[in-house]
Amino acid sequence: MRIGATADLHFFSPRFGVIQNQLAQVRDQADVLVVAGDFTNYGKPEEMEPLLNSLVRLRLPIVAVLGNHDYESGCQAELVRMMTDAGIKLLDGTAYERDGVGFAGTKGFPGGFGRGALTAFGEPEVKAFVQAAIDEALKLERAMSQLRTGKRVVVLHYAPIGDTIRGEAPEIYPYLGSSRLAEVIDRHGADVVFHGHAHHGSPDGKTTAGIPVHNVAMQILQSQEPPAVFRVFEV
């Protein structure tokens, strides 16, 4: 299966017109499109509607997760309804299987990596923050445990490892992802992991167990030579 992967579209009309024609090329190069979150800029239905019109015209199966921007206006339930009505396979602690390839995903959450991961100690606000990261890891665990396919793809918005956020300011590393996600991935095994969120990060990395992780944020793809709006992977 050829997978076209992208993230962080941050749709609003003037900007999307520039990349729309480039994105249309994915239907000739891939069998499935993965979008690793941040469809919208402010999480508004009026942003999602024209974007969905463009994505549906690709005539490709689309597998996706939401990103933090998609939550900004508190309309995420409406966005989910719009996306599922359009036929997008939205993963939120759930799994999807197609042609022998299994997809498992969730948005993820901040929290930090390795020895720098925040722990649930002290104020209730800190404990609630850490619990949100744990809950997202548990959702990924549930999704991955549902897969029965030989090939497995993980889709996240937040990074599961530190390698693919390198290039960002070190001060914000803890807000870009959580290694709790990578622990789940290594325990269950996967062929490839896609995420976004870190616009100035690095495109490629690996988990401790050697599973490939790719940051497919569109801002990174457009900074490569030649500039692109998606990458194609074969599994």
Q: Answer yes or no: are the C-beta atoms of 4 and 36 closer than 8 Å.
A: no
What is the pLDDT at residue 146? Answer: 95
Of 65, 111, 105, 104, the residue nearest 84 (C-alpha): 65
Distance of CA 172 to the CA centre of its chain: 18
Tell the burial category of 69 from Cβ atoms under 10 Å away from its Cβ (0-12, 13-18, 19+).
buried
What are the φ and ψ backbone dihedral angles of 209, each rounded to 5 degrees? Answer: -85, 0
Calpha distance 198→176 (Å, rounded): 6
What is the domain count for the chain? 1
Q: Per residue of the chain (235 residues), give pLDDT as tens.
A: 999 999 999 986 566 677 788 899 999 999 999 999 999 999 999 999 999 999 999 999 999 999 999 999 999 999 999 999 999 999 999 999 999 999 999 999 999 999 999 999 999 999 999 999 999 999 999 999 999 999 999 999 999 999 999 999 999 999 999 999 999 999 999 999 999 999 999 999 999 999 999 999 999 999 998 899 999 999 9
Helix residue ranges per DSSP H, 119-177: 124-146
Largest CA distance in the chain: 53
What is the pLDDT at residue 99? Answer: 96
What is the pLDDT at residue 14? Answer: 62
Q: Which tokens is 179 given?
A: 């290694």
Residues 46, 50, 56, 62: is their CA dihedral positive or negative? Answer: negative
CATH code of 71's domain: 3.60.21.10
pTM for the complete prediction?
0.96
Domain range spanning residue 75? 2-234
What is the pLDDT at residue 21? Answer: 83
What is the pLDDT at residue 11? Answer: 85
Q: Answer yes or no: are the C-beta atoms of 154 and 193 closer than 8 Å.
A: yes
